[in-house]
Amino acid sequence: MENSRYSLSIAAQVEKDLNEIIFYLTEPGMYQTNIDQLVEHIFDGLDQLQVHPLSGTPLDTKTVVPTKIRYLIIDDYLLFYEVVFIAYYHLSKIS
């Protein structure tokens, strides 16, 4: 049985952050294969969230401020996200 996949909405800031990470890792001369591996790990993490959206740790386990934000550790980076469930209902008349 195939796992169901949840919809994932990625904020523009995430793309900007990823581009900045790549830029700053390229500057000191990090090997391109290491950069590619990090990017692959980040996308693997996003794929994981599409199948298991609650797999990250709730942020409020680390703070005293209540929040719905969760985080996923990917190599040396933290991916922060929020799970938003949208329910779709369909009503049919029974004949």
Q: 3-class DSSP state for residue 1?
A: coil
Q: What is the pLDDT of residue 92?
A: 59
Q: What is the pLDDT of residue 70?
A: 93
Q: Which of 3-12, 26-35, 39-48 has the highest mean pLDDT?
A: 39-48
**Cα(87)–Cα(60) distance, rounded to whole angstroms?**
25
Mean pLDDT of 14-42: 89
**Cα(46)–Cα(27) distance, rounded to whole angstroms?**
26
Reply yes or no on whether the pLDDT at 18 is more than 50. yes
Cβ–Cβ under 8 Å, residues 52 and 45? no
Evaluated on CA atoms 53, 69, 79, 57, the torsion sign reads negative
Q: 3-class DSSP state for residue 54?
A: coil
Please report which helix (H) or strand (E) contains residue 79, including its range: strand 77-82
Q: The whole model's pTM is what?
A: 0.77
Tens-place pLDDT, residues 46-90: 999 999 999 999 999 999 999 999 999 999 999 999 988 766 666
**Cα(58)–Cα(12) distance, rounded to whole angstroms?**
22
